[in-house]
Structure 1
Amino acid sequence: MKPLKYWQLGVVAGFLLVYTIVSLTARRGFALTAFSDISATGLWLIAIVAMVWAALSNHGRTRWFWFLLASGAALVGTNLGAWLYYEVIRGRSTPDPFWADIPLFLQPVPMMVAAAMRPGSRQREENFHLSTLNFLILLLWWVYIYMFLVYPNEYIVRNRTIFDIYYYSLFVLEFGVMLAVLGGMALVAEGEWRKIYWHLFSACALYLLAYQWLNAALVREEYYSGSIYDVPNDAAICWFILIAVRARNVPSERLAASEREREAKVSGLIAVLAVLSLPVIGLCVQFLDPGTNQLRPYRVTVTLVGIFVVGVCVFLRQMLLTREMARLLVESKENLEQLQSAQTQLLQRERLAGIGQVVSGVAHELNNPLTAVMGYSDLLKEQTREDNARQKLEKLGTEARRMKRIIDNLISFARPQQEGRRPLDIAAVMRDSLMLCEYQCRNAGIRFEMNFAPNLPQIELNEGQFKQVFVNLLNNALQAVEQAQEKRILVEGKLEGEKVVVRFSDTGPGFNDLNRAFDPFYSTKPIGRGTGLGLSMCYGTVKEHNGKIYAQNLHPNGAAVTIELPAVEEVGCKLQ
């Protein structure tokens, strides 16, 4: 809450002091009545404006919280405006029965709904709608109570004594419930919202005590407009105004964890009790109130209408509960499937790690005889004088060295990546990676093109990690173009500013969902052909090297994955 300024407190204290002096010194009459009615109506209008201002300066459910409080203030303002109209403008007493008693009776209901909305809390949209519907049922219940008990004694049989008993008892009960709601919210809220709830609780308590004092003066026939009995009521209104003025840009409410779990249960229990109470109230009045015969048709009609309207709300509530239950079931099923998929992927990764160790071991064992083949081929070439035999031995040595490079790449690809980064030629790393996929390209009839600009600056890389990145991207491209009419893969490398850009493009069908292309475990390949981790691993590796990687679809078909990496010179500048 915004801090209270001295001039604000001074204005409130000055107004209350002037009102007290006027109420004690002025004579009872039209001038004092006008002063009282105009002051009270003006205060509530200021309260409405302050609450609307607080609503517009906040967001989300907090905004609705203050709008609801403003609607409660508007109900009281309607009552006081009616008093101003009849006593000051028309110059006569209010009619009996007085229609403005209805909005005054319903005043606490929007305030209860506002408090129970949990302004600023992070409920799901479905829970918010459910809570709103629960408290709509509460509002309808209070309307039913008024129409069942209060209204007939005011407009049908005109029993003033019974009307006063029901009206004032229920009014006090309403405020008691509202104080309980505000007190409960204050106990579980934290930070700024705890202060707001306690201030609202205290202001409502003062308002209720002022109402009780004023009502007791009415019974003793001591009250008149502008008397000293109005001062506590005006003080409560000023308190509401100060709360609203200070409640701009309030942060989200933080609730205790146990209270979050009980929130839906409490509001749902209140709604169920409200529904069940309708026929119970009708039966109690029917059999316990001896004067009910004259009002029986009316009360039966009101009860039936009330049960129907509240029953519609219960039906809507059940629909929301059913939809929420279906959402939870679907969410649980998806979570279970994701858990099973993650378990499967982890097992597959363990198998792949085991295969990598086997490949690394086999490749290491092949290196020894292959070294002997290269050595003996060179030795035989030096000892042989025939040109034809020397050419064949030279080809044998060349292919043996080529096999050794492939085996070295397999070892580098399969072993754990423990080595650090060092400046490397990105084109050389790309060529070494291509050797691991060369057989698949040739066997599938795929045309591969590699176009790297000459004299590209070196890049600080972990060689083994980037070989894995390039092999993953090449394998993705190979699988993408398998069913394409034109089977073509192009890898380009160039310098753009201080970035080295490597772009893999193919003539395949493209990505189904670009937004999820780098998500872990996301794959559109048939089961058994992909883990959904390849592009995710590429993304992590590139990011670790302070680079960028992104995907795009090409027109009319095809896809491209682009990697941007800082050159060694840029990294060196940063280190310096």
Structure 2
Amino acid sequence: MTTAEAKLKERVKELTCLYEVTSIIVNSDYDELQTSLEAIVYCLKRAWQFENDTEVYLQVADYESRTKNYSSEMIFLQVDIKVFNRVDGLIKIGYPADRYSEVDFLEEERTLLHNVSLAIGNLMERKQIRDSEMAAKRQVERADRLHILGEITAGIAHELNTPLANILGFAELLKDKVKNKENYRDLEKIIENAVFSREIVKKLMFFACEMPHKMDKIQLNTLVENALKLLSPSLNDKNIQLKTSFSHPNILLRADSVQLTQVLFNLIMNAIYYSPKGGKIEVVLTEQTKTIQICIYDEGKGIAPKDEDKVFEPFFTTKPIGEGSGLGLSAVHGIIDSHKGKITHRPNTPKGTIFTIDFPKL
């Protein structure tokens, strides 16, 4: 193709492609990027000199798109897609290898491909910035919400402590005076329910970081092993495989051993509850440069995206009525927060949840 008319036609195709790609990117929905990238792929196909034989492959981040007859056996023109100066994908334009060679690609086509890769890289950079801003905003909102809930629950806990103490005290006094067996049983029910209510108050105070703790230097490996031994009947009931991994044989942590045991009990009991029969739970302790990390892996159904920001809130539970108060994880959050630590969760692969706790080192 050497005539001026033919060359002009090719330049028009290339400029039209660049305009269409720019328009697609400007109007892209960050939550529907797959659709935009597919449209870009077909824009590129139409822009090449031998359009009917052109095939396109595009991959960036977790997205991938290709034309119908794309094959890895073709002769290619290729360019990387860079996101924040890091290669994060590529674009390949191909012709059938039995009929074409590299000389069939025009220099202007190489320039066009480079410009399109820059435009896609800029799109992915803007998406990453948007995602980071949204994640930071959600984190701030969640922290504010938990702070407000902490203040409310602390007030409720303090208000309930005195009347509960009075109920328990007077019920215990009445037990010595009541001779009727039926009345005696009623008093025992009152005491039992008052004790249960006091435990709920205690969990609320854990969430609000109001519970005092005795900080000692503890041997974390031993603490975890002892907690797992106590939970072995529950593990055996569901035939769950337990795996432990310690990065060091003697990991030391300054913490309240009773409260840290409660944290482990809550997280591992949740893992057991949601794990299928014959599933696997893994507990990993890692001593890092500045932190000590505890990870608990399970193979349960995982946390639904709509519930990810609620799991540490008081009274939130996905368990059936009567099987959970929704205070276990909120108490865990309070204890870890009072130890200057941090707890997060993320999906396990292929299914389940990973809870990660980071404590500052001694």
Do they superpose with TM above 0.5? no
Higher strand fraction (1 or 2):
2
Give me the TM-score of the superposition, normalised by structure 2: 0.42
Decide which structure has the larger Cα Rg and report it: 1
Higher helix fraction (1 or 2):
1
